Each structure stands twice: as C-alpha cells, then as structure tokens.
Structure 1
C-alpha cells in the first residue's frame, strides 16, 4: 500500500511539473470562459471564442490533407445572396484548407464567378425548384443525402450545410469539425426548454414530447463527417416522407426533423450562437465576443415568393 501511494504521489508531482512548463499558447485552456456554457450534459464541447487555440488546431489538422465540403442552396431568387456568401467565405471560411463549395441551384447561369484560393472550387449542382419555399426547405435533406453518393463520399471528408442568405464576418475554421455538429438557434439561446418550437404533435415523426429535448438547433448550419451527415439527412428525409404520406407537415419543416434527430443522436460538438446570429433582430449581447456567420437583411416575403 505504501509503495503504491508513493508511486502515485510521484506521478502527480511529475504531471504538475509538466503543467508548469506548458507553452504560453496553452494558457487559454486554463482560463476558460465562465459567462457561457462550455459542455453539454453528454460532455460534448460547446464552441465559443476563447475555448480553442487556432494555432494548436492548425498543427493538428495541417498534415491530414482534409477537404471540407460546404453545401448551400441558391434556389429561385435566393441566388442573389450567393455572391456575398462566397466572397465572405473565401475571406473567413476554412482559410488555408481545401474547400468544395457545392451550390444547389435551379439557375446555374446566375452562379457568380469569384476569385478562389488555391485548392478551392465551386461545383454547381442543378436541381428542381418548388412552388413553395417550405417545399424547397423540406427537400434539402433529400438532396444532400442523394448527393452524398454522387459526390460527397468521393470528394470531401467533412460537410458543412449552411444557409445562403448569410455572410461570414469572422474566422470560421476547423474548430467546428467533428463527427456530427449542430448549431444553437440564436432565437432560443438562453430560453427555457418549454418555449422551444419543437414539433409537439405525436402523429408526426418529428415529435418531441413536452419536458424532453436538450437544445433547439438551427436548420441553417449543421454538419460533420460525410457518413454521419448522410445518415442524418437520410433519416430526416425518410421521416418527412412518412409524415407527408399521412398529410402532416412539421411545424418548422426540415428544422423540426433536424431537432428530432439530434435529440436522439447527440451531436459530438455544438456550435454557439457566434456561428449563426441575426444582429438586426437580436442586437449584440455582451456574451458574443465574435460574430462569425450572420444574417443578411432581407425581405422574406419578396424573396420567397419569386
């Protein structure tokens, strides 16, 4: 017993000496934020400014030769947002890494040509449009899952699925990458669970009972490794198809099914509202040190109906 205790004390002393000699770049790890939640109940990290070191992450990822795919839907008049989206992505999104921008559109001639960094390209995927914006939203999951086999499995390692009526405004890099990630919806950050706009009808495949649920995730930014994104989008599409056959349309369309899936299959990383925010509607609270991906002012009625 005495020898075991002595060895354990020696080990602890050795580890403490190592900690005292950590490089200064590790200081942030030991001065984490206390003003925001940093972990989910299942111990997945919640990513905020001040919780990661870009230089350390660069060292970890630089030899992996990864390619990130970014899917974006520019259907009907939403194509007008594409130029700003791509220009700001080139400035802030995964800078220094290979990126494939997958643009789903019914207007390929309107896809802008912008200067791209080396190793980055725009791939236009021509798809059908639909009369209602709700149907366009609902079919996103189907199209992403279908194109996993046609493109993504062969061409990229990770997928980020994002809304086009947004712009990048600060660094957004490999700190987001994980097997499966979701983004906290800015409109429900800090709200009580009972106020989340989950689908509450038991007849729907998107149903989450009252008193259940973890967070409310935004449909405008999710992703992960291709296999995990494929499994999620396929499951969401299948659930939508069942509901459609029963005459049911979930309250928030594809976002409702996304929330149901992430309730049952916990994400391995959660992105804070820094990664999706609407400053025009919500202002700029003190806890938001960075705004990385933000809404562009728009007239929803005009855009959606043309």
Structure 2
C-alpha cells in the first residue's frame, strides 16, 4: 500500500511540477490557461505600444531648427515643476521640431466637449476656431456630448478630422452636467476610443481657440494651471476642504490649482483619471456630499497625488474677462464672456 502511495505521489509531482514551472516562467502560458483575466481596453501589450508613442521621440534626419540652450530662455516664469515635469509657455518649445517628431507617429487625437442645453450656442465658435488652431494637420476626432444632436452646427472640417455627436441626458443644473462628465468620458474611452485614439483632451465648449494648441501639449497626464490662481498662494486655492469628501485636500497641501475645463493626455492615463474621479464622486454622493467644484475638485485631488507629466501654462485656458499679465505672451484658448443669467437654468 505504501508503495502504491509513493508511486501516486511521484506521478502527481511529474504532472504538477512542469505546470508550476510554466506558470512562473512563461507568463503567456499562465495568462491563457490559469488566469481568468478581465478583458480591458488596455492590455499589457497595448499599453507598451501607447507608452512608446510618448517616450520614444525620433526627429527626422537633417531637420533644421534653432540650437537649444540650457543657459538662456524664459526667466520670467517657472518652466519645470518640483517633480521635473515641463511647464509649457510660449518660448519654451520649437513647434516645427515637435510636429516633425509626432507626424511620424501617425497619431490620432480625440477631443470631448459638452454642449448640453443652452450651451450648444457656444459649439459653432469652438469648432470653427479649433479647425484653425487645434492640432492642425493631425487626425482629430471631436466628440460632442449633447442632448440636442440635431442642432449640431455645420462646420467644414479638414481631411482627417471628424465630428461625432454622443447623446446624453439634459439637465437644468449645470452642476449635474459637470458632475457626470467623468462618467461619460470613461464610458467613451472604454466603448470607442481605445480602438484607435492615442491621446485625448477634454475641453469646455464655452471657449474658443486663438492660436496654436498642438503637439507641444502632448504628454502622459496633462493638466492646465487655472488662470485665476496661478499667482496665488495655495491657501487661496478653492480645493474641497471637508475631510469627509474624497476630493479633500488639506491646508498646506496641493501643488497648483488646475482647470476642470481643459485636461488630457495618453488615453489610458485619462481613462484612469476619469474612472477614479467618477468612482469618488459617486461615493461622495452616497454619503450626501457634493465637492465644492464638482469634478474639478476631484480632478485636483487626483492630480495632487498622481502628478501630471506635463503642465500647460494659463495660455491654454485663459479667461476673456481678465486683463493679460506681462508673462502671458500669447492666448491659445480661452473661456468666453457670457451672461450666466441667460444660460442658467440650462434648458
């Protein structure tokens, strides 16, 4: 009997041992036969490919551009964060060099805007100015989240650029529209954009482009410093200050105050941001809490912990009612002056 047991044990080891070795030393085999992995838009291999878009920068041979310098340049502004992310200002980049690098990558940029209720009145100018200034010469797919898909304006778009309406419910409160943006962006990435897009920028529709917004803005996770607070002390930032909220940033903490009206980056980075902010917003709502500035508050909390790899200066979302400060050499994108009494309630 003991002999039989020994034979069975040896036989079992002969069967199990090779499988154990395959499990630990051959990941592909493990994934196929052992792990029931959740199928997501961002597999290990897709992530590697997308990340190579960001980090492997190849300039065309013999491209002519001005000699760079590490001892001269903008001295009136800070051009790098404490975690060594570039801060993009006019005069800190060469647009010809940037475009030449990214043209070879054959990238597609998605953009989202929310034109719900009366806010559809801003869409035509947004789209017309985007055609003149936003990633000109690149493939761009603009998604308009709207409750009025039949009212989309007719705007002539260049080859390789397209517009798609994405129906969403209407709402009287602009706060409710703001609150659901992260949810809809997450859904769009999971259902559609993961198939072909490389980067995404999420922008406010009640805005217009004035000059170039291009490849210099590309990065892993990209934030825009709010024009109303870029000169202020962090104690003045309108962070969510209630500790019971998932958007909470304590006094003495935080880096910059970022715009909720312009952010972006690599598709999987924005997906993670939107998924986290949406989840935290829902958890807050369950507890009866609405953050001070809805999704903008949650975005600021997220980007304090998950540092942006590129920070865009207030050039990339100015406010038309503000006087332009001397360090702002150019306005690229701005929120238009509007009569809030005429558009709220937003029906």
Contact 2:172 2:344 in 1 (8 A): no
Give the CA deviation at 1:30: 5.1
What residue in structure 1 maps to residue 40 of structure 2? Answer: none
Give the CA deviation at 1:225: 0.7
Give the CA deviation at 1:297: 1.6
SS at match of 1:234: helix
Give the CA deviation at 1:304: 2.7
Contact 1:29 1:51 in 2 (8 A): no
Q: Does 1:295 align with 2:330?
A: no
Q: Structure 1 length as normaliser, TM-score?
A: 0.91
Give the CA deviation at 1:150: 1.2
Residue of structure 1 aligned with 2:326, choices 286, 301, 305: 286
Contact 1:29 1:52 in 2 (8 A): no
Distance 2:289 2:249 in 1: 15
Q: Does 1:181 align with 2:222?
A: yes
Between Structure 1 and Structure 2, how many residues are aligned?
A: 284
What residue in structure 2 maps to residue 57 of structure 1? Answer: 98
Q: Does 1:73 align with 2:111?
A: no
What residue in structure 2 maps to residue 8 of structure 1? Answer: none
SS at match of 1:147: helix
Contact 1:28 1:52 in 2 (8 A): no
Q: Structure 2 length as normaliser, TM-score?
A: 0.80
What root-mean-square deviation, in Å, do the aligned CA atoms of Structure 1 and Structure 2 show?
A: 1.3
Distance 2:132 2:70 in 1: 27
Contact 1:28 1:50 in 2 (8 A): no
- Extract unaligned runs of 5+ from structure 1: 1-21
Written as runs of structure 1 = structure 2, the 5 A alignment for 1:1-306 is 25-27=66-68, 31-280=72-321, 282-305=322-345, 306=347
SS at match of 1:183: strand
Distance 2:158 2:67 in 1: 30
Distance 1:156 1:23, change over 3 A: closer
Distance 2:257 2:302 in 1: 12
